[in-house]
Amino acid sequence: MTRSQNARFMGAAPGDEEFDHPPGAGLARALSAALAEGGWEVEELENWRDSGWSVRCRRGAADVEVVVAATGEPHAWFLQIAPYDAPGALARLFGKKQASADAEHLLAVSRLAHATLESRGFRDLRWKWNGYPDAAQSTPVPAALDEPR
């Protein structure tokens, strides 16, 4: 089951005129603008658990959430791109089978995010499906999911 495309990366995030806490609002705004330019309908930034920022975006039937948060290390960031709605065990029991976005949608958003981060000088980008992108099990760019869809 495809749950998320995850990235970690390094760099100084742009400041934000409206929010200084939690860190990363300027980065989330940059990602949001890139998604809008890429044809996604983007909602307002949301404070994500008081530790980062989330942006909900839609295109056609796809509904995706992008979350960015500082890791606690200087200039280190984590990004997660996932379906906005994924059925849990109870929902599946009552017949909901599909998440609000599939691997192709998540990959498209990941590629836009990657290009945005690179263009803004972020470095050491590492990507991984459904887990933490450590040095041993990640790719430097978002890759297609290698399991059957």
Q: For domain 5-129, give its CATH number from 1.10.10, 3.10.450, 3.30.310, 3.40.50.
A: 3.30.310
pLDDT tens for each residue of the chain, 149 residues long:
568 999 999 999 999 999 989 999 999 999 999 999 999 999 999 999 999 999 999 999 999 999 999 999 999 999 999 998 875 555 455 555 677 788 999 999 999 999 999 999 999 999 999 999 998 999 999 999 864 33
Residue among 60, 50, 53 nearest 30 (CA): 53
Q: How many CB atoms lie within 10 A of CB 17?
A: 8
Q: What is the pTM of this model?
A: 0.89
* pLDDT at position 85: 82
Query: Tokens 């997660």 appear where?
Result: 80
Query: Tokens 């590629």 appear where?
Result: 111
29 and 45 Cβ atoms separated by less than 8 Å: yes
In whole angstroms, give the CA distance from residue 123 to residue 126.
9
- 3-state SS class at 14: coil
Residue among 61, 146, 135 nearest 107 (CA): 146
In whole angstroms, give the CA distance from residue 59 to residue 148.
23
Residue among 30, 112, 111 nearest 68 (CA): 30
Give the residue extent of every domain in the chain.
Answer: 5-129
